Amino acid sequence: MSLNTIKIAEGFSHFMPKEYVDLVEKGPYGRTVKVSDMGSFKEILEEHPMCAGCAMTLFIRLTMIGFPSPENTIIIGTAGCGRLAISQANIPFIYGNYGDTNAVASGLKRGLSIRHPDQPKDVVVMAGDGGLVDIGFSPLMHSWFRKEKFTTIMLDNEVYGNTGGQESGMTTKGMVLKMAPLGKKFEKMDVIGLAKTAGLSYIARIAPTNPTRVANTVRKAVLIAREIGPTYIQAYTSCNIEYAIPTAKVMDDARNVEKERYGFMEIISDEAKEYLARIDKEAKKPVPA
Ligand SMILES: Cc1ncc(C[n+]2csc(CCOP(=O)(O)OP(=O)(O)O)c2C)c(N)n1
Ligand code: SF4
C-alpha cells in the first residue's frame, strides 16, 4: 500500500486491463478529486453486488472520494452488506470476524506506525450498526477509550440488512421488522453520546444527502485520526429492502430522516481544529520553485 504499489511498471501499461490503466491515470491516487467531478474520473469502487438503489453504496463511494490518501489506506470491515461493496474496491480490505473490527484495526494501526514511522498509513473501520454496537461493542469502546488512532464509520441502516431484518441496537424504538415482528422494545443506542464520553477528537452524524459534505467529513475524520486520536462518523444509510423504501424514494427518505432526527452534526476538539487549520495553511503555501 503506497503509490508505488499501484503504479504500473514501465512497459507494462500495454498488457494491463484498460480499467486498471484508467484507475491509475484518472483515479484519485496521489491527487485530490472533487465530488462535483464524479463521472469524469475513475472511482476506486465502481462495481458491487449490493441492492439497486441502496444508499449505503452511494455513501461508500463518497467515502472513498473523501479519503485523503487512498493509496495509503486500509479498510477493516466485517459481515454485513457494506463489505459486499467495500471488498470490491481497489483499497486493501481486511475482513474482521463479526465484532472484531476495532480490535483488528487497533493492532494494525499500531503495527503500521512501527513499520512506517515516517509515512502516515490510514486505517478506517467501515461496518454496519450491528457489527459495531451489538457484537462489536466492547472492541469499539476499548479502541475509543484507549485512543487508538483510526476512524470508525458506522453504516447505520438501523437493521441487520444482510441477514434479513433483525433489529439492532441502532433500530429505533417501536420499529417492526421482518424478524422483529413485535416491534423493538428499547431506544436506539446513543453512540454519539458514548463517543463524547470517550473524548473523541472528531464525531460526526450525517446522511448522504449532500455528497460533498460526506467526502469532506470523511477527509477530516481520517486526517484527525492520523495525528490526534480516534474519530467517529455515524452515517444514516437506509436499507430500502428491509424498510420497504421504493428505489425512487431512497433519497427522499434520507432527506426526511435527516430533517426529523438525523441532522448533520459535527463535534471537533480544539486540538483537531488547530491541526486542520495548519494542514490547510500548508496546502495553500506556494510550492518552492
Ligand atoms: C460471529 C457472527 N455472528 C453472526 C454472523 C451472521 N451475520 C452476518 S451479517 C449479520 C448482520 C449484519 O448487520 P449489520 O452489521 O447491521 O450490517 P448490515 O448488513 O445491516 O449492513 C450477521 C448477524 C456472523 N457472520 N458472524
Ligand atoms: S439489504 Fe438493505 S442495506 Fe443491504 S444492500 Fe440491500 S438495501 Fe442495502
Name 180's bridge partners.
Answer: 177
Indicate if the pLDDT at residue 142 is higher than 90: yes
pLDDT confidence bin for 83, thresholds 50/70/90: very high
- Model pLDDT, residue 118: 93
Label residues 203-226 b or e (16+ Cβ within 10 Å = b): bbbbbbbbbebbbbbbbbbbbbbb
- Model pLDDT, residue 257: 98
The three cell numbers of residue 113 are: 506506525
- Model pLDDT, residue 289: 60
CA 239 to ligand 2 centroid distance, Å: 5
Ligand 2 atom showing the smallest separation from residue 81 Cα: 4
pTM, two decimals, is 0.97
The three cell numbers of residue 226 are: 492520523
Q: Which architecture, in CATH terms, is 49-284?
A: 3-Layer(aba) Sandwich (3.40)
Indicate if the pLDDT at residue 190 is higher than 90: yes
| Rounded distance between C-alpha atoms, residue 240 and residue 117, angstroms | 43
Ligand lying nearest the CA atom of residue 52: 2
- Model pLDDT, residue 286: 75
Angle between helices 250-260 and 55-66 (to 10 degrees): 70
Percent of the chain that is helix, strand, coil (3-state, to 5): 40, 15, 45
pLDDT confidence bin for 80, thresholds 50/70/90: very high
Put the strands of the sheet holding 231-236 in their side by side order: 93-95, 73-77, 122-128, 151-156, 231-236, 202-206, 265-268
| Rounded distance between C-alpha atoms, residue 256 and residue 225, angstroms | 31
C-beta separation of 188 from 171 below 8 A: yes
pLDDT confidence bin for 211, thresholds 50/70/90: very high
Ligand lying nearest the CA atom of residue 160: 1
Mean pLDDT of the region 14-39: 92
Indicate if the pLDDT at residue 189 is higher than 90: yes
- Model pLDDT, residue 192: 98
Cβ of residue 161 lying under 6 Å from some atom of ligand 2: yes
Indicate if the pLDDT at residue 1 is higher than 90: no
Residues in contact with ligand 1 (CB, 6 Å cut-off)? 79-82, 98, 128-131, 155, 157, 159-163, 168
Ligand 1 atom showing the smallest separation from residue 82 Cα: 21
**Owner of C-alpha cell 436506539:** 188
pLDDT above 70: percentage of residues in the chain? 99
Indicate if the pLDDT at residue 288 is higher than 70: no
CA 12 to ligand 1 centroid distance, Å: 41
* DSSP codes, 199-226: T-SEEEEE-TTSHHHHHHHHHHHHHHHH
Cβ of residue 50 lying under 6 Å from some atom of ligand 2: yes
Q: What three-state secondary structure class fits 282?
A: helix
Mean pLDDT of the region 118-130: 97
Q: What three-state secondary structure class fits 132?
A: helix
The three cell numbers of residue 200 are: 473523541
